[in-house]
């Protein structure tokens, strides 16, 4: 199911596409007519990655909502009541659990849509530590770059200021 973001690569000159984040309006001319043509261009692959992550999060949220709304208890209680009332014989009990089995399979498929459930806490913590190290290295690189620019051009004010700190 698409969230309407699949049209990023299509050319369009409509105002709503031109104001969409991630688009740059480029004025191009067709070689045979020299008529200006607007084209919406994706400016980076990181935007596509961000959109994919957004869609994955939306799918996970939908799966969680569906899991939250599913309830096995009424089905199980109905089955037990039918067994107690004699509507189902004990030997047919396994056959009567079909609705519950179907619901459990749906649960499993929804759980498989959620990323990271099969990860251990230790591996998740390790990934977070690696990300913190990479972020720190990038911050240090940006800080050195800012200092070099300051030294070379002497603007008199810091370029990035103290905004490179990450709240934990």
pLDDT tens-place string over residues 64-101: 888 888 888 898 999 999 989 989 888 888 888 888 99
Name the nearest CA neighbour of 38 among 10, 12, 60. Answer: 12
- Give the orientation angle of helix 73-84 with respect to helix 98-112, to 10 degrees: 160
Return the higher-pLDDT residue of 15 and 137: 137
Q: Is the dihedral of CA 22, 26, 30, 35 positive or negative?
A: positive
Residue 126's pLDDT is 92
Rounded to an integer, the average pLDDT of 2-7 is 42
Return the higher-pLDDT residue of 19 and 70.
Answer: 70
pLDDT at 99: 87
Length of the chain (residues):
168
**pLDDT at res. 30:** 42
> How many CB atoms lie under 10 A from the CB of residue 19?
9
Q: Is the pLDDT of residue 106 over 70?
A: yes
Question: pLDDT digits over 20-75, tens only?
Answer: 444 444 444 444 444 444 444 445 777 888 888 888 888 888 888 888 888 888 98
- Specify the pLDDT at position 141: 95
pLDDT band at residue 9 using 50, 70 and 90 as cut-offs? very low
pLDDT of residue 11: 40
Q: Is 40 exposed, middle or buried (0-12, 13-18, 19+ CB in 10 A)?
A: buried
Residue 144 — pLDDT band, cuts 50, 70, 90?
very high
Closest Cα partner for 26 from 8, 41, 42?
41
CA count, 13 A, side-chain hemisphere, 2: 5
pLDDT (mean) for 6-24: 41
pLDDT of 16 strictly over 60:
no
Mean pLDDT calculated for residue range 114-127: 84
- 130, 121 in Cβ contact below 8 A? no
């Amino acid at each position: 199911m698409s969230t309407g973001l699949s049209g990023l690569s299509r050319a369009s000159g409509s105002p709503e596409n031109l104001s969409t984040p991630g688009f740059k309006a480029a004025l191009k001319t067709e070689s045979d007519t020299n008529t200006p043509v607007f084209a919406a261009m994706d400016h980076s692959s990181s935007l596509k990655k961000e959109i994919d992550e957004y869609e994955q999060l939306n799918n996970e949220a939908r799966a969680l909502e569906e899991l939250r709304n599913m309830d096995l208890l009424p089905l199980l209680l109905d089955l037990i009541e039918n067994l107690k009332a004699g509507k189902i014989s004990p030997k047919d009990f396994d056959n009567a659990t079909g609705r519950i089995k179907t619901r459990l399979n749906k649960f499993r498929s929804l759980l498989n849509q959620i990323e990271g459930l099969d990860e251990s806490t230790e591996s998740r913590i390790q990934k977070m530590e690696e990300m913190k190290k990479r972020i720190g290295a990038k911050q240090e690189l940006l800080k050195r770059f800012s200092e070099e620019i300051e030294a070379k051009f002497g603007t008199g004010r810091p370029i990035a200021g103290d905004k490179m700190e990450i709240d934990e």
